[in-house]
Amino acid sequence: MIKKIILAALFAGTTFTSVAQNKIAAKDIAEKMKWFEDAKLGIFIHAGIYSVADVSESWSFHNGKISVEDYMKQQKSYTLSKYDPAAWADMIKDAGARYAVITTKHHDGVAMYDTKLGKLSSVKTTPAKKDMIKPFFEELRKRDIKCGAYFSLIDWTHDDYPGFLKDKSRYDIKKEPARWARFQKFFQGQIKEISDWYNPDLWWFDGDWEHSADEWQAEKTRKMMLDRNPNTIINGRLQGYGDYDTPEQNFPVVRPAFKWWELCMTMNENWGYRVSDNNWKTPYEIITIFVDAVSNGGNLLLDIGPKPDGTYPETVVSTLKELGDWNRRNGEGIFGTVPGIPLGHFYGPTTLSKDSKTLYLFVHGKTSGQLMLKGLDNKIQDITVLGSNVKLTHKIVGKISWSAVPGLVYIDLPENTSDKYVTCIKVTLDAPIKLYRGQGGFLTN
């Protein structure tokens, strides 16, 4: 973990290329980004052999925590004996997620599908003898959930990949260009396979930081995917050739610069399943983070890891259930909305309906009392609590009849009306929202 942080610091600036300095213009991709923009919630699945021995995904052998031999031995116990893709898809749908992203291959090079190109796959080298991706995507599609393929560009166990262990690499690309060209052909080939066989709605690349855009043939790779499916969305880890930003674990405090972004975050501390990791985020924490991302124009890609037999820890199941129940009560204020009003008007996250005639205010935790809204230059038609539909009263305070400055809106939230996690208050306005953003005083308007 610490090593990873140090590594990230070393690569700071080159890690996780921000699409803000991208070659891709927002206006050129706006149309295909529509579903992503409305989707808000995705479930990330790190499925792999690393779930067997209580080690971190790929990084454990790369960083010398376990020998490569022992790491690879995990393949023998990756059974997927209870893998039920329909149940996975039900769980994801029930949580309210609109898309899912699964690892087709992590940095360890073990594909979770039937690759004809690599030596390592869940089909050939594990007792599972199964392609995980095909049936999973089929089940997702039956439920109208978009399908995302995580693909690691890094392949630390491939003979032709230069990187291997943190202090040991195989070769230098400049000295052996033909070997690197062989690897390029290989990874391009795997991308073609995934594209032809599963046609992902979204590509989630990872590991671009180990090489430049030229070395990854990023432009050509992007074109190849788009030639096959012009609507496919590509995450921002393709050295400047992706469609959206991917802040990881570390929560953005200010809104990321590029129009589309997604926070990927683990439910506990690891991407894959680890029996020893019990540091779960609570439903309250996940929901508050989710709301915060959405109110800032982002999505949450919440990560879970299945066990080697293909089942999930009880906490994953129960937390997704709580999240789903919350979405059923409050989803109107989340899905298909746009980011809310600037901070300062309300002390909490907000969203707006697309016609900006409805404002949604989010209030954390069990609470009651008067909530203040500043600078709202509209008439309020109605205020209700989502989920229960309880109507709320309000009062306008400090409105001076001859001044253009709006009064303060105080909304009464009685006891026992709040949600157990986050309450969503729906404020219906007479017209698209208009905000007063002056400095007050009788000369300003």
**Contact mark string toward ligand GLC, 254..293, x via CB under 6 A:** ----------x------x----------------------
Cα–Cα distance measured from residue 169 to residue 115, given in angstroms and rounded to the nearest whole number: 25
Closer to ligand GLC by Cβ: residue 160 or 206:
206
Closer to ligand GLC by Cβ: residue 12 or 443:
12
Token representation of residue 428: 């219906």
Cα–Cα distance measured from residue 125 to residue 106, given in angstroms and rounded to the nearest whole number: 15
Q: Which of residues 58-87 bind ligand GLC (CB under 6 A)?
A: 58-59
Q: Contact, 358 vs 427, CB < 8 A?
A: yes
Closer to ligand GLC by Cβ: residue 139 or 262:
262
Q: How far is the CB of 57 from ligand GLC (least distance, A)?
A: 5
One-letter identity of residue 9: A
When binding is defined by CB under 6 A, the residue of 131, 206, 210, 292 that contacts ligand GLC is 206
DSSP code of 244?
B
- Give every CB contact of residue 312 below 8 A, 6+ residues apart in sequence: 91, 304, 306
Q: Contact, 306 vs 47, CB < 8 A?
A: yes
Q: Which of residues 33-52 bind ligand GLC (CB under 6 A)?
A: 46
Q: How far is the CB of 148 from ligand GLC (least distance, A)?
A: 12
| N-terminal to C-terminal alpha carbon distance within the chain | 53
Q: How far is the CB of 81 from ligand GLC (least distance, A)?
A: 24
Taking contact as CB under 6 A, which single stretch among the options 19-27, 57-65, 181-189, 357-365 is the one that binds ligand GLC? 57-65
Closer to ligand GLC by Cβ: residue 58 or 115:
58
Give yes or no for residue 248 binding ligand GLC (CB under 6 A).
yes
Cite the beta strand spans of 317-379 per DSSP E.
338-339, 350-352, 358-364, 369-373
Give yes or no for residue 108 binding ligand GLC (CB under 6 A).
no
When binding is defined by CB under 6 A, the residue of 18, 36, 57, 241 that contacts ligand GLC is 57
Cα–Cα distance measured from residue 102 to residue 112, given in angstroms and rounded to the nearest whole number: 9
Give the number of other Cβ atoms within 10 Å of residue 1's Cβ: 11
Token representation of residue 110: 């073990």
Closest CA to 22 of 204, 255, 243: 243
Count of residues that bind ligand GLC according to CB under 6 A: 8
DSSP code of 127?
T
Closer to ligand GLC by Cβ: residue 46 or 259:
46
Burial class (CB in 10 A: 0-12, 13-18, 19+), 393: exposed
Token representation of residue 113: 């599908």
Q: How far is the CB of 32 from ligand GLC (least distance, A)?
A: 22
- Give every CB contact of residue 179 below 8 A, 6+ residues apart in sequence: 160, 171, 173
Q: How far is the CB of 271 from ligand GLC (least distance, A)?
A: 5
Closer to ligand GLC by Cβ: residue 46 or 281:
46
Residues in the chain: 445
Closer to ligand GLC by Cβ: residue 149 or 422:
149
Taking contact as CB under 6 A, which single stretch among the options 54-62, 76-84, 165-173, 334-342 is the one that binds ligand GLC? 54-62
Closer to ligand GLC by Cβ: residue 149 or 264:
264
Residues in touch with ligand GLC (CB under 6 A): 46, 57-59, 206, 248, 264, 271
